[in-house]
């Protein structure tokens, strides 16, 4: 599909010159002669690239207002500003607001075409990166054999077929966004937008704007996350960070199924499936007054709890295999041979959870070690601040041999049990003991067995 460029200039001669120049270069064009025409064209269909004159018919800087309007809808669209009344302040202001280039009239045709070509390349690169990231993220599976992961897979299968609101609880990096994407992908809304609003990353003054959008005095509309997700799914990540006054407005939307944009007078009706996630315990947040209890009950129609990676060690070897294959393919290198039973990995305190493990494997892929020893060195160097072996050695130097041996056996067997998800037969086979002997050993060391 040919790239479409919107040309906005109130001078007919300039519009025609630009139109012929850009058509001859193989692009499609749309034209607007004034502010309102431009606004109509932008809201009708966002162009791939926009060329805007600074001064149109509504004021000295209405082209800059159009620039801001475009960026409020899609910040990736390149905008080239042209003007016959240039000054340094104007140029700096337009670039600060996100202009791709600033061009003075009369312009050099070849120079302008070069800017357009670079703008198109820039947009294509961003689109390709988004597509790659989405494909990579969407292609990720929920990997594991722990009871927690098996339960969540079953929950996804069942809840995806409904329209229920969902609350995802779990520590940072555990896979909450992945689960939300899986639910959306398996739902009837899968061909509609999946929009993410991160409550922890927003400026405290912009929550309403980001959620509900805005109607400006000049008639321009800035769409919020609720409208962007219309007929699709909206994930509010870290919902615990939303201020109380905004929480009450979200509650009102859930009750009335409608809202008003900032500075707007008309109701906006949307059909959105809402999924919220939190790394904090919302019940505790309610107790200390940081979260509305009535909103909590509205959001928590169905709850999914994701455990930390430290609580499902049995999933780590499977995740290592999975990410090694995926990441090797994305880097177009030979599949990484990472020892799935490496004690540095199994005994690491994974505060960043699955994301931290994935980042470790990606770091190895970037460095492209050609031997297992080099891979092991990278692992040790990366995880050295929380190395189980070093802690055991350090602690063991100050206690008798018998106590040191018992401490090691207790730590070692606890980790092996977690790795095999509490399966005594598999654990006994791996450590080279009879089942009955392992039972006695666990009892003697005070290790509680689990299923």
Query: In which region does residue 354 sit, left (phi positive, over 0), alpha (psi from -120 to 50) or beta (all else)?
Result: alpha
Q: pLDDT at residue 328 above 50?
A: yes
What was the pLDDT predicted at 144?
92
Q: pLDDT at residue 291 above 80?
A: yes
Is pLDDT larger for residue 381 or for residue 293? 293
What was the pLDDT predicted at 393?
46
Task: Please give the sequence-ordered ranges of beta strands (E in DSSP) within 283-368, or none if there are none.
Answer: 302-305
What are the sequence ranges of the domains in the chain? Answer: 4-128, 140-307, 313-385, 390-445
Q: pLDDT at residue 197 above 70?
A: yes
CATH topology of domain 390-445: Arc Repressor Mutant, subunit A (1.10.10)
Mean pLDDT of the chain: 85
Distance between CA atoms of 114 and 394, rounded to whole angstroms?
A: 63
Q: Which of 127, 105, 125 is nearest to 51 (CA)?
A: 105
- Range of lowest pLDDT (23-37, 73-87, 104-118): 73-87
DSSP letter string, 427-442: HHHHHT--HHHHHHHH
Q: Do domains 4-128 and 140-307 have the same CATH topology?
A: yes
DSSP letter string, 43-83: HHS--SEEEEES--SS-TTHHHHHHHHHHHH-TTS-EEEEE
What was the pLDDT predicted at 374?
87
Give the distance from CA 276 to its chain's centroid.
13
What was the pLDDT predicted at 146?
92
**The domain at 4-128 falls in which architecture?**
3-Layer(aba) Sandwich (3.40)
Q: pLDDT at residue 140 above 80?
A: no
Q: pLDDT at residue 157 above 90?
A: yes
Contacts of 49 (CB under 8 A, 6+ apart): 3, 4, 5, 6, 77, 78, 79, 80, 116, 119, 120, 123
Using CB atoms within 10 Å of the CB of residue 128, give its burial: 0 to 12 exposed, 13 to 18 middle, 19+ buried: exposed
Distance between CA atoms of 342 and 344, rounded to whole angstroms?
A: 5
Q: pLDDT at residue 46 above 50?
A: yes
Distance between CA atoms of 33 and 256, rounded to whole angstroms?
A: 41
Is pLDDT larger for residue 275 or for residue 54? 275
What was the pLDDT predicted at 129?
62
**Exposure b/e, 133-163, CB count within 10 A at least 16 = b:** eeeeeeebebbbebebbeebeebbeebbeee
What was the pLDDT predicted at 392?
46
The domain made up of 140-307 is a member of CATH 3.30.1490.110: no
Query: Which phi and psi angles does 28 have, rounded to 5°?
Result: -90, 155
pLDDT band at 191 (very low <50, low <70, confident <90, very high): confident
Please check whether residue 79 is in contact with residue 70, taking contact to mean a CB–CB distance below 8 angstroms: yes
- Range of lowest pLDDT (204-218, 244-258, 346-360, 405-419): 405-419
- Range of lowest pLDDT (11-20, 391-400, 435-444): 391-400
Model pLDDT for residues 220-268, shown as the tens digit of each residue: 677 889 998 989 999 999 999 999 999 999 999 998 888 999 988 889 9
What was the pLDDT predicted at 390?
45
Is pLDDT larger for residue 173 or for residue 398? 173
- The model carries a pTM of 0.62
Distance between CA atoms of 314 and 319, rounded to whole angstroms?
A: 9
Strand 273-278 and strand 233-237: the pairing is parallel
Q: Which of 350, 419, 328, 353 is nearest to 178 (CA)?
A: 353
Residue 83, strand partner residues: 104
Q: pLDDT at residue 387 above 50?
A: no
Helix/strand/coil for 108: coil
The domain made up of 313-385 is a member of CATH 3.30.420.40: no
- Range of lowest pLDDT (218-222, 276-280, 302-306, 440-444): 218-222
What was the pLDDT predicted at 388?
45
């Amino acid at each position: 599909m040919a790239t479409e460029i919107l040309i906005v200039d109130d001078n007919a001669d300039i519009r025609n010159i630009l139109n012929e120049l850009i058509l001859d270069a193989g692009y499609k064009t749309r034209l607007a002669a004034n502010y309102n025409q431009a606004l109509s064209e932008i809201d009708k269909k966002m162009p791939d690239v926009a060329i805007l004159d600074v001064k149109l018919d509504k004021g000295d800087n209405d082209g800059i207002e159009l620039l801001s309007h475009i960026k409020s809808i899609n910040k990736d669209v390149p905008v080239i500003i042209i003007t016959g009344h240039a000054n340094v302040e104007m140029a700096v202001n337009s670039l600060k607001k996100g202009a791709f280039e600033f061009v003075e009239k009369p312009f050099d045709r070849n120079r302008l075409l070069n800017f357009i070509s670079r703008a198109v390349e820039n947009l294509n690169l961003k689109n390709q990166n988004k597509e790659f990231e989405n494909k990579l993220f969407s292609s990720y599976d929920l990997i594991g054999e722990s009871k927690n992961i098996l339960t969540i897979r079953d929950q996804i299968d069942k809840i995806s077929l409904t329209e229920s609101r969902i609350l995802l609880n779990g520590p940072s990096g555990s896979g909450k966004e992945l689960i939300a994407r899986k639910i959306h992908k398996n739902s009837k809304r899968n061909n509609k937008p999946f929009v993410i609003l991160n409550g922890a990353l927003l400026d405290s003054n912009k929550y309403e704007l980001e959620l509900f959008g805005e109607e400006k005095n000049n008639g321009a509309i800035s769409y919020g996350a609720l409208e962007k997700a219309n007929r699709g799914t909206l994930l509010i990540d870290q919902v615990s960070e939303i201020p109380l006054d905004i929480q009450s407005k979200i509650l009102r939307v859930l009750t009335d199924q409608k809202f008003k944009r900032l500075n707007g007078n008309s109701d906006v009706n949307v059909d959105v499936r809402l999924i919220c996630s939190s790394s904090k315990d919302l019940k505790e947040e309610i107790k200390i007054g940081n979260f509305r209890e009535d909103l909590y009950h509205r959001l928590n129609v169905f709850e999914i709890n994701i455990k930390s990676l430290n609580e499902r060690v049995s999933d780590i070897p499977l995740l290592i295999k999975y990410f090694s294959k995926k990441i090797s393919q994305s880097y177009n290198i030979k599949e990484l041979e990472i020892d799935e039973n490496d004690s540095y990995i199994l005994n690491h305190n994974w505060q960043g959870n699955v994301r931290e493990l994935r980042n470790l494997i990606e770091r190895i892929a970037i460095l492209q070690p050609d031997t297992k020893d080099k891979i092991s060195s990278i692992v040790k160097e990366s995880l050295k601040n929380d190395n189980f072996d070093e802690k055991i050695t350090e602690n063991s130097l100050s206690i008798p041999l018998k106590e040191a041996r018992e401490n090691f056996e207790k730590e070692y067997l606890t980790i092996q049990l977690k790795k095999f998800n509490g399966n005594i037969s598999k654990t006994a086979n791996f450590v080279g003991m009879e089942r009955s002997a392992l039972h006695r050993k666990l009892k003697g060391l005070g290790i509680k067995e689990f299923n």
